[in-house]
Structure 1
């Protein structure tokens, strides 16, 4: 994967005027993905509708080497510490939820739902991928069509194909809707500024409309990690600059 120079502005002390940022040495194996996860979780506005949801690309706003991030997150997924989800933001985006946070959220929000209790007990400890085959659910776990339908109705599974399902998070649709709205609002703010760029310290002070549920910091991590904006160090501080996507229209 390509290595990209992305500012690790968030989660660290703001630099004095004229002093260069200290970037994480992400090319080494000493990058602490756990600490980065905790910093990102601090930017997530807690609510009773969703567990803390972090996108994998948001880690890239801290860490320059995507390969390092991906390897460490995959290791956390393999040992069951975190779960990954495809939430339909775009083709490549993966969302991450700490497994303990997910279980706590499900137990608290759906304490009387027997389907969710079964899912926590049977599925979460055994299946750690982003999707699951229907045959596995039936053959290994002895689940019936009714069990699977109850998981779908509870928002724990969504249909991938006739023979497989994506794992999902209950009531995540509203989160996705407001997340996209927040991303667009931040990008619109940057584009409207002179030269389509703004100091991060200035952007942090801007308010998002009330219907956008997540913090400005959360969305700044998103646009940096998704390469919709890039950080540029200047003598006045770190500037966030709009990235113009290349045109796909071919000249005739």
Structure 2
């Protein structure tokens, strides 16, 4: 997965369960709300084992079970660019998300390009994220601060935090119906007015969903799927990125040793954690990792 970015704080692995896909329901209106079922989660693929090719007079070796033949040796990293590698990267960056910073009001948010810092094969990352989205296990969100910056969030915590944000409010029932129909059935980044009406949401309902924070205006008659309270995350994310870039820019030759950066006192604005922000800088190609005799260097991409 490339040079590993050191973890500067303890991490807790998160492996949230999936959700059964309902992509086919997007093509027609849904007549009734559909609850979120629990999915089985992704499994390992299997590959055909090559036949034994011993010479004459030799007995074939005992054949291993097909599943064991396809499985990598215990303790070995997943194959580079494989679905397992993408999911491992997603879990790793998800575990870095500082839940307490936002009062545990937000689901863990990961920027898609942060995964590129761990799995450089961007096509493989995008392909598997689309697969997970179509299965209903994750949602992709457009956060608005960059045209191509997409956030990845596991569906189950997304739904839980969206309902938590409107608990006891007049829109709670409407938000639940939206999550159980449009969000559970359709994996789109945004929703058009015609689609919303086909799903049973009038214009007045959409206005309430925007007020609840589960939709944001994209343009006239179109809305992005959103997570309530995400503005606080975006603000902290942008400030932390700028602070780390400024720290590297002030260094000699506009580069800094990765190990040295981990030992420095982090900038006050890097509230999401230096490691979390480094995955952003490397994945967004704002800095480059340069191998050297003394270890990995981080150099501004503009130099």
Instruction: Report what 1:89 is aligned to.
Output: 145
CA distance in 1, matches of 2:162, 2:142: 19
Deviation at 1:197, TM superposition (A): 1.0
Moved more, 189-198 or 118-127: 118-127
Q: Does 1:197 align with 2:255?
A: yes
Instruction: Report what 1:16 is aligned to.
Output: none
Instruction: Report what 1:39 is aligned to.
Output: 92
The question of whether the paired residues in 1 share the 8 Å contact of 2:193 and 2:222 is answered with: yes
Structure 2: unaligned runs, 5 residues or longer? 8-75
**What is the DSSP-based 3-state SS (H/G/I as helix, E as strand, rest coil) of the residue aligned with 2:291?**
strand
Structure 1 segments of 4+ aligned residues over 6 angstroms from their partners: none
Instruction: Report what 1:26 is aligned to.
Output: 80
The question of whether the paired residues in 2 share the 8 Å contact of 1:86 and 1:94 is answered with: yes
The question of whether the paired residues in 1 share the 8 Å contact of 2:78 and 2:84 is answered with: yes
- Give per-residue Cα distances to partners, 1:126-154, cap 9 Å, x unaligned: 12110111111112x21122211111001
Deviation at 1:207, TM superposition (A): 3.5
The question of whether the paired residues in 1 share the 8 Å contact of 2:114 and 2:282 is answered with: yes
CA distance in 1, matches of 2:297, 2:282: 11
CA 1:98/1:133 → structure 2, altered by over 3 Å: closer, same or farther? same
The question of whether the paired residues in 2 share the 8 Å contact of 1:207 and 1:216 is answered with: no
CA distance in 1, matches of 2:246, 2:188: 35
Deviation at 1:91, TM superposition (A): 1.3
CA RMSD of aligned residues (A): 2.2
Deviation at 1:110, TM superposition (A): 2.8
CA 1:186/1:209 → structure 2, altered by over 3 Å: closer, same or farther? closer
CA distance in 2, matches of 1:77, 1:11: 29
Structure 1: unaligned runs, 5 residues or longer? 1-5, 13-21, 246-252
CA distance in 2, matches of 1:24, 1:11: 19
Q: How does 1:208-223 map to 2 (within 5 A)?
A: 208-210=266-268, 212-223=270-281
Aligned match for 2:244, one of 177, 186, 210: 186
- Per the normalisation by structure 2, the TM-score is 0.70
Q: Does 1:7 align with 2:2?
A: yes
CA distance in 1, matches of 2:180, 2:268: 37
The question of whether the paired residues in 1 share the 8 Å contact of 2:139 and 2:155 is answered with: yes
CA distance in 1, matches of 2:128, 2:250: 37
CA distance in 1, matches of 2:174, 2:241: 34
> Which of structures 1 and 2 has the bigger CA Rg?
2
The question of whether the paired residues in 1 share the 8 Å contact of 2:165 and 2:228 is answered with: no
Deviation at 1:204, TM superposition (A): 2.0
CA distance in 2, matches of 1:126, 1:107: 17
Instruction: Report what 1:17 is aligned to.
Output: none
Q: How does 1:125-204 map to 2 (within 5 A)?
A: 125-139=184-198, 141-204=199-262
- Per the normalisation by structure 1, the TM-score is 0.83
The question of whether the paired residues in 1 share the 8 Å contact of 2:190 and 2:223 is answered with: yes
**What is the DSSP-based 3-state SS (H/G/I as helix, E as strand, rest coil) of the residue aligned with 1:40?**
helix
